[in-house]
């Protein structure tokens, strides 16, 4: 199974995937790791591990649909079976979604459909939920919507800050992501 991973940030989820592949615990071929901006630690981690990397810099494209098309073309050039959004913080348009329909997998640090969007941890904490968690799902054209593949619950503790809660969620998110990728590589993606 060939995957392209998209990142915007520190890439700790990506690192978990790289480590699992290196340890022989996950049988996937990482074709490339790409970002929407320069200087992400995620791309640095991938390059350090010897993987091909690319940047389709959002800021280089005054017209958003041009950026979308450039990203779609770049990702498609690797002919991936799965495109993994691993902390990729940019919303892609329908052209991208249609091109990789049913193959675009996203991780989100909340129990969807609760708390979608860029601040899933902060919003859950502000609402006062006692349990939150993480979700791995197939992304459709909405924001953090689409068929759910796996979820894990994380308890909110007294005194939690956004950072402390996110750290505990990420521990589960990494585990869930590896498990889900392993399942997909074995059984394939669910058919729509």
By CB under 6 A, name the one of 1, 10, 152, 189 that touches ligand GRF: 10
Closer residue to ligand GRF in complex, CB, 34/87: 87
How many residues bind ligand GRF (CB under 6 A)? The answer is: 15
Show contacts with ligand GRF in window 37-66 (CB under 6 A). Answer: 42
Beta partners for 4?
32, 83
Label residue 144 left, alpha or beta by phi (over 0 means left) and psi (-120 to 50 means alpha).
left
Task: Give the end-to-end CA distance of the chain in Å, rounded to a whole number.
Answer: 19
d(C-alpha 59, C-alpha 49), whole Å: 27
Q: Is 90 annotated as a binding residue?
A: yes
d(C-alpha 65, C-alpha 3), whole Å: 23
Beta partners for 134?
152
- Is 81 strand, coil or helix? coil
Q: Is 38 annotated as a binding residue?
A: no
Q: Is 1 annotated as a binding residue?
A: no
Show contacts with ligand GRF in window 120-159 (CB under 6 A). Answer: none
Q: Is 89 annotated as a binding residue?
A: yes
Q: Residue 63 Cβ, how far from ligand GRF at the closest point, in Å? A: 26
Answer yes or no: 108 catalytic: yes
Q: Is 92 annotated as a binding residue?
A: yes
d(C-alpha 86, C-alpha 28), whole Å: 15
By CB under 6 A, name the one of 4, 11, 68, 71 that touches ligand GRF: 11
Closer residue to ligand GRF in complex, CB, 69/131: 131
Contact stretch for ligand GRF (CB under 6 A) within 12-20, 26-34, 47-55, 125-133: 12-20
Rg of the chain (C-alpha set): 16
Closer residue to ligand GRF in complex, CB, 76/152: 152
DSSP code, position 156: P
Return phi, psi of residue 119, to 5°.
-125, 50
Active site residues: 108
Q: Binding site: which residues? A: 11-13, 64, 89-92, 106
- Applying CB under 6 A, which residues contact ligand GRF? 7, 9-14, 42, 86-87, 107-109, 170, 173
């Amino acid at each position: 199974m060939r995957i392209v991973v998209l990142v915007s940030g520190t890439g700790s989820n990506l690192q978990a995937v790289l480590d699992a592949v290196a340890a022989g615990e996950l049988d996937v071929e990482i074709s490339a790791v790409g970002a929407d901006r320069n200087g992400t630690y995620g791309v640095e981690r991938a390059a350090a591990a010897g993987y091909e990397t690319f940047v389709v810099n959002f800021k280089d494209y005054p017209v958003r649909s041009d950026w979308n098309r450039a990203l779609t073309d770049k990702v498609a050039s690797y002919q991936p079976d799965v495109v993994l959004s691993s902390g990729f913080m940019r919303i892609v348009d329908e052209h991208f979604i249609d091109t990789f329909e049913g193959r675009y997998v996203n991780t989100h640090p909340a129990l969807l459909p609760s708390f979608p969007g860029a601040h899933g941890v902060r919003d859950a904490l502000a609402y006062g939920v006692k349990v939150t968690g993480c979700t791995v799902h197939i992304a459709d054209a909405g924001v953090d919507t689409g068929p759910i593949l796996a979820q894990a619950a994380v308890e909110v503790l007294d005194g939690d800050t956004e950072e402390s809660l996110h750290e505990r969620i990420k521990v589960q998110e990494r585990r869930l992501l590896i498990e889900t990728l392993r399942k997909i590589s074995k059984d394939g993606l669910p058919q729509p």
